[in-house]
Amino acid sequence: MPYENKFSHFLVLTRQMCPYNVIVTLTNTKNVRKNIEKHRKKIVKRLSKPSASCTPNIRRFQPIESPSTFSIKKLQEIAEKDQDADIESALDYCPGGYMPVTIGQTIGPDNRYQIVRKLGWGHFSTVWLCEDISEGQTYYAIKIVKSANSFKTVALDEIKLLRCVKDQEPTAAGYDKIVLYHDYFIASSLYGEHLCLTFELMGPSLLHLIVQSNYQGLEKEGVKNIIKQILLALTYLHENCKIIHTDIKPENILISVKEPYIRNMVAHVNRFNELGVQMPKSYVNAAGWNEPEFFEQSCDEASTSNVIYSQRVDPRRTSCPNKVFVNDFSKPIKVKQDQRPVSPLFVDPGIQVKIADLGNSCWEDHHFAEVIQTLQYRALEVIIESDYSFAADIWSVACLAFELSTGDFLFNPQASEHLSCAEDHLGLIWELLNGIPPYIAHSGRRSSEYFTSAGTLKRISPENMKIWKVEDVLVDKYQWKRVDAILLADFIESLIEPDQDLRATASSALNKKWLNSIDSH
């Protein structure tokens, strides 16, 4: 069976607009991608990209209704959109499992924190929006871990990493690009004792922007700014803390939000409570619930905030193609396929982001797992089970830069009847890099499964592969100007260099020409 280059031609979308990753990965990644794939296949066909960059024609949105004016009917419409939302299993509320939590409940030392709203959940924990009663109108995200000892052990390892990040060198560059951990406490329930970690409250993840762009990618200057901040954060983690993040991906990069955003979020919750309407299962799962909040501001506010504008269409109408939802909390809109934008989403170049979720992180000299990283962002050395270090995070940044720029995965391996997922992944890497050096191919514990003694792939013959380098992909598929493609390709290729010792570091990548260039128009 001929090996098909699925790098771009046979893209299978496996992402969803999952709950905001407020502090941690709030959903089981495998389940998220599996559950949504069937919905995404319906819109897999891509629209052609514009042949040249263009300056977005920014649209300003007038503020929508204040939450205090929402009627019961409108709130019910919002809540009804969330009935099919993916939530944690009720069976996991048991000894060793999740802590039962109710809205208005107080937890923590001296009952300091009052539960306002559930923000999301993951295999290890649930995450809640809480008000610090002792400070008054100060809000945090609190991660409440399952009570089983195995989950506590993992959480304690995470706390050690978080403390190091918090205390190591607060004045260093990149320190403020990592979500701030505050403290932890223990809460008791009928199911046991639960570790509770408190973090600063953040906004949505970069995945939200990718989805909102309808997988067309973001405007180039916004991408550069985001990548710079991620590299600054990794410079701090790698050089100051000696920590490998191990899971850089859009879901784990969160957008910083300002006080008005948080106040508005709490006002929505309060309005639900005042009218006695059942709230959506998870704050960000309700269609038409999260996006108006992100855009609800005046023109003056917009000029100084992390506002995101779509170049041609109201961003509130583009997040869920082919889905009916409530626009402005009142008027039902049917999003049609032909309404999808054909140009990147404009993002305020001043957008501020932070790296989140150190739950899978490890020390440079103390690894907790041999296989790390979400599949699409997994480094070559991890696939073949060679020794890994900080360079694995850098590989993930390259994948993220491509995805933010185009809306597509750089690598999206798929298992088939004749190839394992890892073999397909290696084939895609080979095609993009025009080969893998034999000394690298033979450096892993699983190398003999994938490579011949000559360093070629065992189950993929050279005649069945098409060499398609990053620069050509950007020009041929995405219709980029060659001058722009050359710079991004150079940046990406320096971050996916097969030899870890030759791969760019976080600090050296900051000096790459692409990050400091001005795009052609």
Q: What is the pLDDT of residue 120?
A: 84
Over residues 197-242, the pLDDT tens digits come to 999 999 889 999 999 999 999 999 999 999 999 999 999 999 999 9
Q: What is the pLDDT of residue 235?
A: 98
Over residues 83-119, the pLDDT tens digits come to 444 678 889 999 999 999 998 999 999 999 999 988 8
Q: How far apart are CA 53 and CA 461, in angstroms?
A: 38
Q: Of 23-37, 166-180, 325-339, 415-429, where does mean pLDDT reach its minimum? A: 325-339
Query: Do 313 and 321 contact (CB within 8 A), yes or no?
Result: no
186 bridge partner residues: 195
Residues 6+ positions from 160 with CB-CB distance below 8 Å: none
Question: Would you place residue 281 in the very low, low, confident or very high pLDDT band (cuts 50, 70, 90)?
Answer: low
Is-same-fold flag (69-203+258-300; 206-256+347-515)?
A: no
pLDDT > 70? residue 358: yes
Residues 6+ positions from 435 with CB-CB distance below 8 Å: none
Query: Do 437 and 455 contact (CB within 8 A), yes or no?
Result: yes
Tell the CATH superfamily of the 69-203+258-300 domain: Phosphorylase Kinase; domain 1 (3.30.200.20)
**What is the H or E stretch that residue 487 is in?**
helix 482-495
Q: What is the pLDDT of residue 262?
A: 85
400 vs 79, which has greater pLDDT? Answer: 400
pLDDT > 70? residue 321: no
Annotated binding site for ATP: 143
Query: Do 352 and 233 contact (CB within 8 A), yes or no?
Result: no
Q: How far apart are CA 399 and CA 409, in angstroms?
A: 7
Write the secondary structure of 69-138 as one string of H (helix), E (strand) and C (coil): HCCHHHHHHHHHCCCCCCCCCHHHCCCCCCCCCCCCCEECHHHCEEEEEEEEECCCEEEEEEEECCCCCE
Q: What is the pLDDT of residue 48?
A: 33
Q: What is the pLDDT of residue 441?
A: 98
Question: Would you place residue 136 in the very low, low, confident or very high pLDDT band (cuts 50, 70, 90)?
Answer: confident
User: In angstroms, how far is the first alpha carbon of the chain from the final one?
Assistant: 43
Average pLDDT over residues 332-354: 65
CA atoms within 13 A on the CB side of 26: 31
Q: How far apart are CA 219 and CA 343, in angstroms?
A: 8
Query: Minimal CA–CA distance to 204: which of 4, 19, 27, 28?
Result: 19
The two structure tokens encoding residue 69: 């004016």
Three-class DSSP category at 441 = helix
Domain positions in the chain = 69-203+258-300, 206-256+347-515
Q: Of 273-282, 379-388, 431-440, where does mean pLDDT reach its minimum? A: 273-282
324 bridge partner residues: 334
Express as a percent the part of the chain with pLDDT over 90: 59
265 vs 232, which has greater pLDDT? Answer: 232
CA angle (381 as vertex; 376, 384 as ends), nearest 5: 90
Q: How far apart are CA 270 and CA 223, in angstroms?
A: 35
Q: How far apart are CA 144 and CA 138, in angstroms?
A: 19
Q: Of 8-12, 63-67, 197-201, 375-379, where does mean pLDDT reach its minimum? A: 8-12
pLDDT > 60? residue 499: yes
50 vs 222, which has greater pLDDT? Answer: 222
494 vs 281, which has greater pLDDT? Answer: 494
> Which positions are annotated as active-site residues?
247
Assess if CATH 1.10.1530.10 describes domain 206-256+347-515: no
Q: Which of 14-18, 234-238, 514-518 has the highest mean pLDDT?
A: 234-238
Q: What is the pLDDT of residue 51?
A: 33
Annotated binding site: 143
Q: What is the pLDDT of residue 521?
A: 54
Average pLDDT over residues 446-454: 96
| C-beta neighbour count of 153 within 10 angstroms | 11
pLDDT > 90? residue 428: yes
Question: Would you place residue 186 in the very low, low, confident or very high pLDDT band (cuts 50, 70, 90)?
Answer: very high
Q: What is the pLDDT of residue 119?
A: 86
Q: In one letter, which amino acid is 199?
A: F
How many residues belong to the chain? Answer: 521
Average pLDDT over all residues of the chain: 78
